[in-house]
Amino acid sequence: MEHYSLKINGHVYETGAEPFESLLDVLREKLRLTGSKKGCDEGECGSCTVLLDGKPVLSCILMVSDVRDREVLTVEGLPQGGEPHPIQVEMTERGGIQCGYCTPGIIMSAYALLQENPRPSEDEIRFAIAGNICRCTGYSKIVEALQAAAGTPIR
Amino acid sequence: MAQPENATSAAQSGPYDWIGSSVPKVDALDKALGITQYVGDMQMPGMLHARIRWSGVPHAIIRGIDTSEAVKVPGVRAVLTAGDIPGINRYGLAVQDQRVLADDKVRTAADPVALVAADTEQAAEEAITKIKLDLEPLRPILSIEDALDPTAPSIHESGNLFTRTTVRKGDLDQGVKESDVIVEETYRTHLMDHMAMETESSLAYMDPTGVLTIITSTQYPYRDRRQIAPALNLSMNKVRVVQAPIGGGFGRKDDITSEIHAGLLALKTQRPVRLVYTRRDSLIANTKRHPMLMKFRTGARSDGRLTFVDADIYGDTGAYLSLGAFVIKKAGIHACGPYDVPNIRVDTHTLYTNNLSSGAMRGFGVLQAAVAHESQMDQLAHRLGISPIDIRLINTLKPGLATGTGQVMDEGCGIEATVLRIKEYMESHDLRFTRS
Amino acid sequence: MTQFRAHPILSPVLGLEGYYEPASTDEALDILRQGSGNYKPFAGGTDVMINLRRRTVTYKGLVNIKRLPGITSWSNKAGEGLHIGAATPFGDLESSPSVTQRYSALAESIRVIGSVQLRNMATIGGNLCNASPAADSAPALIVSKATITFTGNGEGTRSCLVEQFFRGPGRSILDSDGLLLSLDIPEPEPNSGDCFQRFTPRGALDIGIASAASRVTLDQSSGRVLEAVIALGAVAPTPVRAVKAEEALVGHEPTSDLMAQAAKIAKEECNPISDIRGSASYRQALVEVLVRRTLEQAVERAQK
């Protein structure tokens, strides 16, 4: 067992872990940050998406040893001053959420997109969330919510 | 955060103002914030992790299960087999044909044969690989044709044909006589997984008053309780089922999934036990969408008017019925689709096989039937030289007309308007059907 | 400070004896030799983590190579082309205009790999070392005449063309103590163009049923084909060239008819298997379409 100091959502968390444990398991089971979800545990569904140094990655197949000296952002880190992020608000109000299990992953992928490209087109939004599977919505309401969050026109 | 403004004002001004307005789901913001607790997000002090050993073979007699190496894995607290079940080792939604843990026989590769609870998921995982099964293979029934073979071995006591249903209307011979064209085809649909984003999961614990509490991702807590209590030999008031937020169900979580297994382990270990299926477990076990074999004969007059439907629908419910007979019956009820058919003979056959079992899934049998009746419509249109849109418009159910089972349509019947919209859209966008 | 850290017993459950993060190539090779064939070098870990979990492969040791100097970075030098560390994530290349503007086939192949998240983890060297017949980057790298530099294998550091790297499904020329260090992609020649396309039922998170990359160099004065290189994915035990199709193009004017004819030849000269993703004949039909379309695109780009 190794000791790790992990920088997550601007805080430093101390934890013991095997170097090859997934960041997702460490987040969920050891640090109790359960916002990132385990849908497949094989890097296929995107529910576990977190940002590593600003880029979206799959925390279920990311070894915790590769997170040393880097910054992790999870869905819990998005609200500012106690207020939900606009993506979180629009997803809530525009029907982008049904069962909610894919939602944190979608929100993290969308957040990463908007950091790089604040005014994405519908195609760019769809490309950015192509790694996030949702079984409830059929994606339309999600795309609309993300367009609203970005302030781009909804078709 | 406060309720969104439109919701508050709607609630204040009158009870029906919700209708027609966009109302955010009450639990959506928690989900967006990542604070909603699904079962897999929960932990309790002293909690154990569970894993299931699946049979891995479709049909076999169980000669023995050796758990001696599994119990030696460090961290393992319990390894259970059928003999450890305190109550009746049977459950099921419609008929009780499922075992909590396989006893005499293995009826599908997804039969659970043993359970492990351990301090960590890895230890539980390691232990299930060390369980040795001594199985005597039986001839497996792996297709609808196999199940219909009279020489095939019986999967359950009462034979492989569970039930037959019929739909009759008008005079089939007359319909055949009036037909200018008859299309006869066989269609097959495949097994399909619901693939809910959250896998099956339960957290079970004994509460301080001795009530077995199971927090679970289920669609139906009361029906779960009715199946859990007898298997664990507990009276109904000693079992409490709490419905957790569900990460997608789509019919899949209508049945018992992880509830009895988690409950049994909690009862035996007197510790909280969390059983969260891996995606692989979820793909292997529990109900899927029924594969069907559909033999259809459909007739029409030269003007496109349907004359008859004559069909046999065979549904593969797998090793267990779940809601299979109802799903397959529904495929028969909908065999003519949204069309007015004067003469009907439709038989459905619900068959046991050693395949993965199927049950409720979005559409509940209607989708499979649609593959057949819509393909038949396209074939008829082609043979008669009518456009696929027009043949549908000629035959759609309209207010006043009745379905094959006698349900009379009212103004809520929107199929004609739907097809007309498609026709208008295609014409205005210069879209055509092509057939090569 | 050395990053070499050995863990005597990591996890009896997973059968792992050691996890290493070597800081130099020599150290990495030492560790791999110590493991006598049972230690796995990895970078992105997107395959290794899944194998660990599924227990499909047993590793006694894991060797994380991402701390080797220069292995996660890349550069673009005028006149030399791209020099890419083997552990460079696809995401780093995907977003760079110097790749997308001049290396079309490579950029097109990167864009379809897995998903945004996966490309931020999965590395170009890992895609090659995994040696899947369907490796998305392989056909594009082959037509780009990319070379790889590797070490170990008992013989020191050497280079070869990507085309010569694969041996079969999951097998490359690297032994268990071999290490892929970098890739070099030469600058595209004048009057040349390339293109990559693959076919999958889904737009993302899918494995190609068949793929093709084409590269065409035209004679500036006559407009005829000076050189054609066509590589196919997922239709043989390794990514392969369609040599006869290439030959049919050389010396001729690249008309649509000729390209269609070359595509037919490519279809005939490949010999795919049938599996869960598609039948042999379906794959062959795809090859014809993909080769024709990639040739047309490549020629159009070469003529610009």
pLDDT interval class at A45 (50, 70, 90)? very high
In whole angstroms, what is the distance from residue C22 CA to residue B400 CA? 79
Collapsed DSSP state (helix, strand, coil) of residue A56 = strand
pLDDT digits (tens, 9 = 90+) for B358-411: 999 999 999 999 999 999 999 999 999 999 999 999 999 999 999 999 999 998
Residue of chain A whose Cα is closest to the Cα of B245: A99
Average of per-residue pLDDT values in chain B:
95
B40 touches chain A (CB under 8 A): yes
Residues of B in contact with A48 (CB under 8 A): none
Structure tokens at C118: 């996966």
pLDDT confidence of B53, banded at 50, 70, 90?
very high
CB–CB contact A18 C10 (8 Å): yes
Pinpoint the residues of chain C covered by CATH 3.30.390.50: 193-303
Of B350, B383, B400, B423, the C-alpha closest to B183 is: B383
Q: Which helix (H) or strand (E) holds A88?
A: helix A86-93
- Minimal Cβ distance to A42: which of C11, C21, C50: C50
Distance, in angstroms, between A57 CA and closest chain C CA?
4
Q: Which residue has the tokens 């492990």?
A: B116
Range(s) of the domain holding residue B185: 144-192+288-428
Torsion of CA B35, B40, B45, B48, to 10 degrees: -170
Counting Cβ atoms within 10 Å, is residue A81 exposed (0-12), middle (13-18) or buried (19+)? exposed
A18 neighbors A1 (Cβ within 8 angstroms): yes
Q: Coil, strand, or helix at residue A8?
A: strand
Name the residue among C176, C182, C128, C138 with its Cα closest to residue C157: C182
Do residues B249 and B280 lie in contact, with contact meaning Cβ atoms separated by under 8 Å?
Answer: no
CA nearest to B34 within chain A: A35
Within this chain, do residues B279 and B292 fall inside the same structural domain, yes or no? no
Element (H, E) at A128: helix A122-128
The predicted pLDDT at position C13 comes to 55
With residue C235 as reference, give the H or E element that holds it. Answer: none
* Contact status of A131 with chain C (Cβ, < 8 Å): yes
Question: How many domains is chain B partitioned into structurally?
Answer: 2
Distance in angstroms (rounded) separating the CA atoms of residues B129 and A150: 49
Report whether pLDDT(A115) > 50: yes
Instruction: List A73's β-bridge partners, or say none.
Output: A51
Best residue in A44, A52, A57 for a mutation probing chain C (most C CBs within 10 Å)? A57
Among C14, C54, C118, whose Cβ lies nearest the Cβ of A131? C118
Does B359 share its domain with B405? yes
The listed CATH number (3.40.50.1970, 2.140.10.10, 3.30.360.10, 3.30.390.50) that belongs to domain C193-303: 3.30.390.50
- Which chains lie within 8 Å of chain B at 3 or more CB pairs, if any? A, C
Whether B19 is in a domain gets the answer no
Whether residues B74 and B126 share a domain: the answer is yes
Which of C289, C302, C136 shows the shortest CA–CA distance to C215? Answer: C302
Q: What's the topology of domain C18-64?
A: 3.30.43
The distance in angstroms from the start CA to the end CA of chain A is 52
Please report the DSSP string for B158-220 in residue order: T-SEEEEEEEEES-HHHHHHT-SEEEEEEEEE--B----SSPPEEEEEE-TTS-EEEEE--S-
Q: What is the mean pLDDT of residues B269-287?
A: 96
CB–CB contacts below 8 A, A to C: 81
In a domain, B12, yes or no: no
Report if residue B38 sits inside a domain: no
What are the start and end residues of each CATH 3.30.465.10 domain in chain C?
75-185
Report the alpha-carbon distance of residue B344 to residue B365 in Å, rounded.
18
pLDDT band at B9 (very low <50, low <70, confident <90, very high): very low
* Domain match, B336 and B413 both: yes
> Which chain B residues touch C55 with a CB distance below 8 Å?
129
In this predicted structure, the answer to whether residue B280 has a pLDDT above a threshold of 60 is: yes
Q: Do B54 and B160 fall into the same domain? A: no
Distance from CA of C211 to the nearest CA of A (A): 20
The CATH fold of domain C75-185: 3.30.465
Q: How far apart are CA C185 and CA C188, in angstroms?
A: 9
CB contact under 8 A, C117 and A2: no
Residue B302 lies in a domain: yes
Residue pLDDT, tens place only, B333-353: 999 999 999 999 999 999 999
Where among B236, B264, B284 does a domain terminate? B284
> What SS3 state is found at C23?
coil
On whether both B271 and B381 belong to a single domain, the answer is no
Q: Other C-beta atoms within 10 Å of B145: how many?
A: 13
Q: Hey, CA dihedral for B321, B322, B326, B331, is it positive or negative?
A: negative
Q: What tokens appear for C303 in the block?
A: 């003529």
B11 in a structural domain? no
What average pLDDT values come out for chain C (304 residues) when binned by 10 residues?
A: 41 72 94 91 94 83 95 94 98 94 97 97 97 97 98 87 96 92 97 98 93 98 97 97 98 98 97 95 98 98 94
Q: How far is C231 from chain B (nearest CA, A)?
A: 31
Question: So what's the pLDDT on residue C55?
Answer: 77
DSSP 8-state code for residue B98: B
Share of chain B above pLDDT 70, in %: 97
In-domain check, residue B264: yes
Query: Among B264, B315, B258, which residue's Cα sits nearest to residue B288?
Result: B315
B386: in domain: yes
Interface of C with A in 62-91 (CB under 8 A): 62, 64, 66, 91
> Where do the CATH 3.30.43.10 domains begin and end in chain C?
18-64
Query: Cβ of C276 under 8 Å from any chain B Cβ?
Result: no
State the pLDDT at residue C1: 29
Asked if B293 and B280 sit in the same domain, the reply is no
SS3 C64: strand
Measure the CA–CA gap between B327 and B333, rounded to whole angstroms. 10
| Subunits in contact with chain A (3 or more CB pairs closer than 8 Å) | B, C
From residue C91, how far is each of B330, B417, C68, C96, C174 by CA, in Å? 49, 48, 19, 9, 25
Distance separating the N- and C-terminal Cα atoms of chain C: 52
Please report the pLDDT score of residue B435 as a whole number: 61
Task: Give the Cβ contact number of residue C10 at 10 Å.
Answer: 20
CA distances to B114, B251, B290, B315 from B363, in Å = 33, 9, 11, 15
Domain end marker among B249, B284, B319 = B284
Residue A50: its H or E element: strand A49-52
| pLDDT (0 to 100) of residue B41 | 98
**Contact at 8 Å (CB) between B312 and B216?**
no
3-state SS, residue C63: strand
Task: Label residue A153 by pLDDT band (50, 70, 90).
Answer: confident
Find tokens 């060390």 and name the residue: B130
- Res B17: pLDDT: 81
H or E element in which residue C181 lies: strand C179-185
Q: Say whether C13 and B280 touch across the interface (CB within 8 A).
A: no
pLDDT at B12: 56
Which helix (DSSP H) or strand (DSSP E) does residue B62 occupy? strand B60-66
Q: Which amino acid type is present at position A75?
A: V
B184 and B223 share a domain?
Answer: no
| Measured distance CA(C240)–CA(B194) in Å, rounded | 38
CATH at B355: 3.30.365.10
Contact B123 C11 (CB under 8 A): no
Q: How far is C218 from chain A (nearest CA, A)?
A: 34
Between chains, do A19 and C120 touch, taking CB under 8 Å as contact? no
Measured torsion, CA atoms of residues B167, B169, B174, B175, in degrees rounded to the nearest 10: -70
Check if the interface score ipTM surpasses 0.90: yes
Nearest Cα to Cα of residue A6 among A70, A62, A61, A77: A70
Residues 6 or more apart whose CB falls under 8 angstroms from that of B147 comprise B141, B160, B161, B316, B351, B352, B353
Separation between Cα atoms, residue C179 and residue A106, nearest integer Å: 36
- Classify the C-alpha dihedral B117-B120-B125-B131 as positive or negative: negative
DSSP readout, B337-386? TTB--SEEEEEEEEE--SSPPB---TTTTHHHHHHHHHHHHHHHHHHHT-
Whether the per-residue pLDDT at B298 is higher than 60: the answer is yes
Are the C-beta atoms of residues B352 and B322 closer than 8 Å to each other? no
Yes or no, beta carbons of C62 and A42 under 8 Å apart: no
Min distance B123 CA to chain C CA atoms (Å):
7
pLDDT score, position B343:
98
CATH for B93:
3.90.1170.50
Considering the domain architecture, whether residues B398 and B302 belong to the same structural domain is answered as: yes
Q: Is C13's CB within 8 Å of B129's CB? A: no
- Say yes or no: B198 contacts chain A, CB-CB below 8 A: yes
Q: How far is B126 from chain C (nearest CA, A)?
A: 6
Assigned token pair, A10: 């601007």
Q: Token pair 């054609």 is at which residue?
A: C228
Domains of chain A and CATH, by start: 2-77 (3.10.20.30), 86-150 (1.10.150.120)
Nearest by CB to residue A62, choosing from C10, C16, C121, is C121
Chain B residues within 8 angstroms (CB to CB) of chain C: 73-74, 120, 122-123, 125-126, 129, 280
Mean pLDDT calculated for residue range B7-27:
74
Q: Give strand pairing partners of C275.
A: C278
What is the separation of C-alpha A111 from the centre of its chain, rounded to a whole number of angstroms? Answer: 8
Quick count: other Cβ atoms within 10 Å of Cβ A19?
A: 21
Instruction: Give the residue carrying structure tokens 């959506």.
Output: B28
Q: How many angstroms separate the Cα of B352 from the Cα of each of B153, B231, B315?
A: 11, 23, 9
Domain co-membership, B188 together with B116? no
Nearest to C188 by CA among C77, C39, C28, C81: C81
Alpha-carbon distance A19 to C7, whole Å? Answer: 10
B207 inside domain: yes
What tokens does C115 get?
């998903």
- Contact at CB, A92 and B43, closer than 8 angstroms: no
